[in-house]
Amino acid sequence: MISSVREKIMEKVLVVGAGMTGASIAAFLRQELPKSTKISIWEKSNGIGGRMSTSRASNIRNSTVDLGAQYISASPLYQQKHSGIYSELIQAGLLMAIDVASIEGHSDKQPDTKHYVVPEGISALVKHFVNKADASVGRQHLVTSITTEGTHVAVTTEQGIKELFDAVVLTMPVPQIFQLKGDIAKFIGEKGIKADLQNVSYSSRFAVGLFFPPGTCLDVPWSAKYIYDNPCVRYVSVDNRKRNKDSADVGPSVCIHTSVPWSMENLEKDKDSAAQEILEHVKAVLPWLPKPSEVKGHKWRYSQVDKGFPGSPGCVILSDSPPVLLAGDAFSRGVFDGCLDSALATQQLLVGLHKSKV
């Protein structure tokens, strides 16, 4: 009885956002829902990964750079809490332990924290969870409206696509939730959480990826370094070396992250003009750095959660019937494990909502 009713209710589920939280939500839901349930992920950009983004060089084969998250730090608590997930990812070769002694200026807030990199680029983690979800991925699907139509949620995109779903989970940054048309404002008002959502805040950051031809020598003793005496440059990584891809056959790549204060002061600049200014600061920090063959700039308007939703519940229910949920690191913690916490909480709540209808 439970199985047949759940299959009827959960025929179509949509997760909005193909970052780490969205991908893991889809994967965890797949574990609980029947194979007949169609799980879709809609992403506003052309690629998946969100802030766990890996960029490829245009003209240099196999040269990539992580422009968002750089490495994963698992506290003792999360090593235990998510031990099964970590074991799976390590066994699959998706995570590789690193010695942070190679990262100059790094310091741990908690003793016995373990650190990992993703050899194939940080976005490979997101792709892994998307594949586990057996989800259909709609790229360049910018959601603009969420409305309820009877027992369904109608979702409309900027491109004119409209589709009905039995449940919807929104994982975009909170300020983008307020931009949605339809019933979202009504839901937020009914739940009395408008002020709590408005108080969620994010830091901002620019990133620049530099690509060099194979054979270029970047002779430094570190794989990454935190910079504390420059107003603009905060972090530099020889990214291929950080991921143990330091080979003569692969052109080296460098990632640069800016400081939050500089980013906030320059937030309205476009990523390309900002990248040129950042490179001027890089010359002062790394005067020996050769001229790259390619430069890619990126602006993370919502880089990391500065102030999250009260209580860190993992997710928030906007509508019980039909289900509309908010999830993401704003409702947990702005780290990889926070994304997993949010995904697990969403799985539990969404499946629980439908079990209660039986």
* 188-207 pLDDT tens trace: 999 999 999 999 999 999 99
Give the model's pLDDT for residue 249.
79
Q: Which pLDDT belongs to residue 76?
A: 96
Q: What is the pLDDT of residue 5?
A: 35
| Contacts (Cβ under 8 Å, ≥6 apart) of 94 | 118, 119, 120, 124, 125, 128
For residue 1, pLDDT beyond 50: no
Nearest alpha carbon to residue 285 among 246, 257, 253 = 257
Interaxial angle between packed helices 336-355 and 20-32, expressed in degrees from 0 to 180 and rounded to the nearest 10: 40
What is the rounded average pLDDT for all residues in the chain? 93
Top CATH class, 2-51+125-200+308-355: alpha beta
**Confidence band for 356, pLDDT divided at 50, 70 and 90:** low
pLDDT tens digits, 66-96: 999 999 999 999 999 999 999 999 999 999 9
Work out the average pLDDT over 138-154.
Answer: 96
pTM: 0.94
| CATH number listed for the domain at residues 54-122+201-306 | 3.90.660.10
pLDDT score at 9: 63
User: What pLDDT is attached to residue 303?
Assistant: 93
Name the H helices within the chain. Answer: 2-9, 20-32, 76-81, 83-91, 123-133, 174-177, 184-191, 194-198, 239-242, 260-265, 271-285, 336-355
Determine contact, residues 11/329, Cβ cutoff 8 Å.
no
Domain ranges of the chain: 2-51+125-200+308-355, 54-122+201-306
| Position 7 confidence tier, pLDDT thresholds 50, 70, 90 | very low
Give the mean model confidence (pLDDT) for residues 101-109.
91
What pLDDT does residue 6 have?
A: 39
pLDDT band at 287 (very low <50, low <70, confident <90, very high): very high
What are the residues facing 42 on neighbouring strands? 16, 138
- 157-183 per-position pLDDT tens digit: 999 999 999 999 999 999 999 999 999
Give residue-wise pLDDT tens across range 40-68. 999 999 999 999 999 999 988 889 999 99
Q: What is the pLDDT of residue 357?
A: 57
| Exposure string over 212-237, b if 16+ CB within 10 A, otherwise e | beeebebeeebbbbbbeeeebbbbbb
**Percent of the chain topping pLDDT 90:** 84
pLDDT, position 354: 59
Q: Among residues 102, 132, 110, which one has the least CA distance to residue 29? A: 132
